[in-house]
Chains A and B, each alone.
Chain A
């Protein structure tokens, strides 16, 4: 019973943390989705005590807490993959911006040279 209260409170705190981060614009909604799903899963498991045993039996795991670790691990791996995807797309964007900056710097230097010449005339 005590563990159930602790896990319900823990899950609620987790949900609150995610929502608060979004509210303060520290976390983009698009990236928070997977965290949200994870926190709701925690809450369900905390409220419905037999769920873990039920799921374990369903997929054939003898030791119920192992299911918890499995779910946790899979979720964390998925989140990390999502991060890699985001990093890759940001790398592309940074590259484009760098290139654009280099081209604009050159253009600016050229224009400044041109206008300096005109002034001297």
Chain B
């Protein structure tokens, strides 16, 4: 029997990227699974929704008010949960992630090597693939250190949003996904704390094709404080007892 896999793409003001992303995704979906591509429009001010409607290939979840990427992703999880999906993947709407790595991420879950897979730019030696800007690298080092300190797990690429969930991880994320603006580093501590098996998988990433990154340098500083603080608080909370 084919496994049902949901590919969730949160999008906010991605009119220039979104169709390219969906094209990329549809040309790389492995045919041996039952795929559904779910685009979550976080109340974009541009023509993102119109483009999605016109394209018609993706299931469209349209949030009535801007709620942040965390909430957008969680909406996709809720859809996947309610419709009995076996796996879920999270894929950025800005063209940063490469769809040809989707099978690699899913493979780890299908082989039951992990519950939760994280696409990482940093597993292969320096110089191969897109390595990110210097400020972002400082942030990545900072989070890597902080997350190791608080959870014992050393993430390879803590800010990567390219992630895959098996059924149990999906169920957990549906309920407890951080509703924060930048949920990625926080989620790692949360998943580790609740004893999910995490595996880093090498994925190349692209530089942004268009639009503006959600993190400019001054916001980067704010981002590190805010997310760093959130990570601390997650580490201080007990594990979710009502989730078996």
A residues in contact (CB < 8 Å) with B:
92, 94-95, 98-99, 101-103, 105-106, 109
Contacts and interface: CB of A to CB of B under 8 A. Distances in A.
A109 B179 CA distance: 26
Contact of B40 (A92, A94, A95, A102): A102
B64 A95 contact: no
A102 B61 CA distance: 5
A103 B82 CA distance: 10
Contacts of B150: none
A99 B59 contact: no
Given A103-B78, A105-B62, 20 more contacts: A92-B179, A94-B65, A94-B67, A98-B64, A98-B65, A98-B71, A98-B75, A99-B63, A99-B67, A99-B75, A99-B78, A101-B63, A102-B40, A102-B61, A102-B75, A103-B75, A103-B79, A106-B59, A106-B60, A106-B61
Interface residues on B, range: 10 to 19
B159 interface: no
Top 7 nearest A-B pairs (CB, nearest first) are: A102-B61, A99-B75, A102-B63, A95-B71, A98-B63, A101-B64, A98-B67
Secondary structure at chain A's binding surface: helix, strand, loop or mixed?
helix
Nearest to A105: B62
A109 B75 CA distance: 17
Contacts of B203: none
A106 B179 contact: no
